[in-house]
C-alpha cells in the first residue's frame, strides 16, 4: 500500500482533526511528554494530511505541537483515496503506534471489516479473511474478538 507524497511545512492553525479517526482519546500527560520531546528533539516523524489539510496520521503529534506552542509542523501531503482506504491507513498507523483503548480499536477494525467484506465477500476464518488480517497486522482471533465485542455491545451495551 505504497503512497506517493510530498513533504511540506504547514501552519498548525490550518490543520483539522479527522472526526472519523479511530483514536478518540488522548492522554494529557502523554501529550505533555511528547510536547517536551518535540521541543528537545524536534519532530522525528512528520504527520500526514490529505489535500484538505485533514490529519490522516499524527493527531497526537499535532496536539503536542499545539501544546508546545509551535506555529508550524512538517507533514506528508497524500492524495485522499476514499473513506475506506483512509480508515485503513489510520487504523494501521494507530495499531503500529501507541496503544489505543480496546473499544476504539475494535470499533475501527469492525468498521473497516464491514466495509471490505461487502466489497470482497470475506469471511473471518477463510483465506481471504486471514490475508485481510495479515495485511492489517492483526490476528484472525483479534478480528473475531472485535466482531463479537461490537456485536455484544450493540445487543446489550450495559453488559459490555
- The predicted-structure confidence for 88-129, as pLDDT tens digits, reads as follows 777 777 666 656 678 888 888 898 888 887 766 666 556 667
Of 159, 147, 144, 140, the C-alpha closest to 111 is 147
Tell me the backbone φ, ψ of residue 130, rounded to 5 degrees. -65, -40
Helix (H) or strand (E) run with residue 97 in it: none
Helix (H) or strand (E) run with residue 6 in it: strand 5-11
Q: Tell me the mean pLDDT in the region 2-6.
A: 63
Residue matched to cell numbers 495479515: 134
Each as own residue / partner, the long-range contacts of residues 151-155 (CB below 8 Å, 24 or more positions apart, any chain) are 153/103
Higher model confidence: residue 126 or residue 45? 45
Q: Tell me the mean pLDDT in the region 54-74.
A: 94
* pLDDT value of residue 124: 57
Instruction: Cite the active site residues.
Output: 59
Please state the pTM of the whole predicted model. 0.60
C-alpha cell at 1: 500500500
Is the model's pLDDT at 10 over the cut of 80? Answer: yes
Amino acid at each position: 500500500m505504497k503512497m506517493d507524497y510530498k513533504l511540506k511545512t504547514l501552519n498548525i492553525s490550518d490543520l483539522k482533526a479527522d472526526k472519523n479517526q479511530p483514536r478518540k482519546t488522548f492522554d494529557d500527560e502523554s501529550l505533555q511528554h511528547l510536547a517536551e520531546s518535540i521541543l528537545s528533539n524536534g519532530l522525528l516523524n512528520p504527520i500526514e494530511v490529505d489535500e484538505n489539510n485533514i490529519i490522516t496520521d499524527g493527531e497526537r503529534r499535532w496536539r503536542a505541537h499545539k501544546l508546545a506552542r509551535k506555529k508550524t509542523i512538517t507533514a506528508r501531503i497524500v492524495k485522499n483515496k476514499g473513506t475506506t482506504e483512509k480508515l485503513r491507513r489510520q487504523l494501521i498507523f494507530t495499531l503500529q503506534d501507541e496503544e489505543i483503548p480496546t473499544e476504539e480499536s475494535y470499533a475501527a477494525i469492525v468498521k473497516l471489516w464491514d466495509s471490505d467484506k461487502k466489497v470482497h465477500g470475506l469471511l473471518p476464518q477463510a483465506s481471504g479473511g486471514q490475508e485481510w488480517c495479515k495485511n492489517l497486522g492483526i490476528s484472525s482471533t483479534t478480528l473475531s474478538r472485535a466482531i463479537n465485542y461490537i456485536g455484544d455491545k450493540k445487543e446489550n451495551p450495559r453488559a459490555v
